[in-house]
Amino acid sequence: MQIDRNNIDELTARLTVTVEPADYASRVEKILNDYRKNSQYPGFRKGKAPMALIRKQYATPVLADEMNKIISEELSAYIQKEELDILGNPIPETSTEASGDWEKPENFTFAYEIGLAPSIDLKFGRGAKFTRHIIKVDKKALEAAITDHKRRHGTISEHEVASDTDLLLGHFTELDGNNEPLEGGIESDSNIALEHLDDKKSKKQLTGAKVGDTFDVNPHKVSHGHDDLAKMLGVTHSEVHDIKTNFRFEVKEIKRLTPHENNQALWDKVLGKDVVNSEKDFREKVSEELHQQFDRDAEQIFRRRFVVDLIEHMKIQMPDAFLKRWIQMNNENPLTDEQLEKEYPSYADSMRWQLLQQAVMKDADMRVTMEEVEEEAKRVIGAQYAQYGMPLEGEMLDNFAKNALSNEEERRRIADIVIERKVVDNLLPRVTIKEKSVSFEEFAKVAASVR
């Protein structure tokens, strides 16, 4: 067998594969002989049918099947031997026709296209400048935090009719294109907070709702971004992108919050008994907490934004035409040209980030240990339970983490979190970071732009 490579451009190449009888004849002959041993034809004893009869019925499909196996094996061996860093898998070349006679097999020629991974330069230069926002704790932010504490420690009562600030607890059911329940679709018990609903039409639709009422809603309009919607429907962040239809929401309960008075009882609940004894001291303590919280929030958003901005800054070229063909050929559900053009940029940026991570890990000889994955699992799970007022510690947290990591998909997800953090930590000293002070409202706009 012979494989020749010709570069189409910097990131794509054509592999021409020539297969000779010596490559396939013995394999095909062995399979045909096995077929003959187990064959049963009228007028012949088992395994005694003429070979000509076996060849007539099976030779072509067996040859085609073995040819696919041989080519796959040889292409993989060739790519490994030549140390080619490819994206996806080789795909049949559309501009070159295969040659060979399946009825009278001799030499066969096939052409495949491969996409090559671009080289990644980790020397970014002076032009790599990025902004980290510092959130100011102004009077407005402080008042909002105090209001939040008053609400958090307020009292909740049941109501039959919803006002525009109530919380609706209910059940979401995914609908099909005809607004009928989708068989096997997403089902989730969750809630809609009318007070924080930005879509005016949805808010008006749900205000005045009664227990037992049902509403067909656009899930994207009754949530706050993809992360919030994923939690609302109990799905992954990536699955949110595929949600295109309405959901039916059945109201199960209506809850109303009455905020706590700003008094000693509130201060004790927020900070601990007698930590402060005046509103002035309470405000100072809340301000200190806000500085810490804002710094954590700013760091989280900065790191997410940094990845997006760095990828844009690097302008990593990709074999776009090849990748689009590869996506079409490997997608379970065929994509229209419009869908492909719309979704491809996000896919390409995701692949750019994967390539950059691989380059950093190789450059820094970076490893991720199982101990790091276990610690991250405990951190993630602990944070999830803490937000519901259910702190996990010690042996219970260890058991929850071990149980989560027993699932391969979850283990990979946690490992990806560790890898991304370590890669970003490695990248930050290589670029220039400047700080910019902004108000909480300005920062909220920055955070909303990060998906």
Residues 185 and 331 in one domain: no
Q: What is the pLDDT of residue 444?
A: 84
| CATH number of the domain to which 93 belongs | 3.30.70.1050
Q: What is the pLDDT of residue 451?
A: 57
Q: Which domain holds residue 326?
A: 274-448
Residues 254 and 280 in one domain: no
C-alpha triplet 188, 192, 196: angle, nearest 5°: 150
Residues 48 and 87 in one domain: yes
In a domain, 127, yes or no: no
Structural domains of the chain, count: 3
| Separation CA 257–CA 146 (nearest Å) | 15
Q: What is the pLDDT of residue 389?
A: 65
Q: List beta partners, residue 18.
A: 2, 109
| Mean pLDDT of all residues belonging to the chain | 91
Residues 339 and 412 in one domain: yes
Residues 98 and 178 in one domain: no
Q: What is the pLDDT of residue 25?
A: 93
Residues 14 and 67 in one domain: yes
Residues 98 and 210 in one domain: no
In tens, the pLDDT along 364-409 reads: 999 999 999 999 999 999 888 877 667 778 888 999 999 999 999 9
| CATH number of the domain to which 233 belongs | 3.10.50.30
pTM, two decimals, is 0.67
* Exposure on the CB side of residue 87, measured as CA atoms within 13 A: 26
Residues 300 and 441 in one domain: yes
| CATH number of the domain to which 410 belongs | 1.10.3120
Residues 284 and 428 in one domain: yes
| Separation CA 442–CA 230 (nearest Å) | 25
Residues 87 and 24 in one domain: yes
Ranges of residues in the chain with a pLDDT under 50 are none
Residues 331 and 386 in one domain: yes
